[in-house]
Amino acid sequence: MGSCSSTDLIDKHDQNSLLSTSDIILLRNSWREIVHQGQEKFAVEFMVRLFTIYPNFKHLWWFLKDVNTEENLRNNSQVLVHGQKMFDAIDKSIYSLEDINSCCFALINLGRIHFKIGVREEHFKLTLNLKPIYEVLTMTLADGLGENFDNKTKNCWKKFLTFIECQMKIGFEKN
């Protein structure tokens, strides 16, 4: 496995996408507020929104086979479990950005795990296409942060999620 450097935080199409120290602080402060309000609540809200807005994603999760209503989504224990896993990965990534090699290793490994559990390239591209995940996560963050979710905060989250996506794709592609 290759190593990562701070240049891995750069989107090749946008040379202004590097996460600065102030960006990382802003990410952490906004995330800390979500955790303080109840990370579990937001994890469920994220998952419910994702499958409500993008119902074609449901077939990718075995536990959603017979889930057809928003109420059933909210009451499905696996929705909470998967949402919490995702939010835990975000939490670990946010707090390991200074050790970029460790952060990259964890995210690359997460991509590998997704491949090993049956996610295939067509699934990966569908679900990790930044737009749906970014769109739904920013809606969820905006609800939790209110007026504190300004354009600068939103832009930091976009940079961060692009970084996560790129690292997971490396892990997926190495299988």
Q: Considering only the top CATH level, what class is 19-173?
A: mainly alpha
Residue 1: the pLDDT is: 40
Q: Which two tokens stand for residue 95?
A: 């707090």
Residue 125 Rama label (left phi>0; alpha psi -120 to 50; beta): alpha
Question: Domain map of the chain by residue range?
Answer: 19-173
Q: What is the pLDDT of residue 58?
A: 84
DSSP code, position 129: S
Stated pTM of the model: 0.82
- C-alpha 149/C-alpha 157 separation (Å) is 10
User: Both tokens of residue 157?
Assistant: 């989250």
The phi, psi pair for 97, rounded to 5°, reads: -65, -25
Q: Which residue has the tokens 């591209």?
A: 125
Pair 78, 61: CB distance under 8 Å: yes
pLDDT tens for the chain, 175 residues: list them: 444 544 444 444 443 457 899 999 999 999 999 999 999 999 999 999 999 998 888 877 888 888 888 999 999 999 999 999 999 999 999 999 988 899 999 999 998 988 887 766 666 555 555 578 888 999 999 999 999 999 999 999 988 988 888 888 888 777 7
Give the C-alpha separation, 9 to 27, whole Å.
Answer: 14
Q: What pLDDT shows up at residue 104?
A: 92
Q: What is the predicted pLDDT for the residue at 11? A: 40
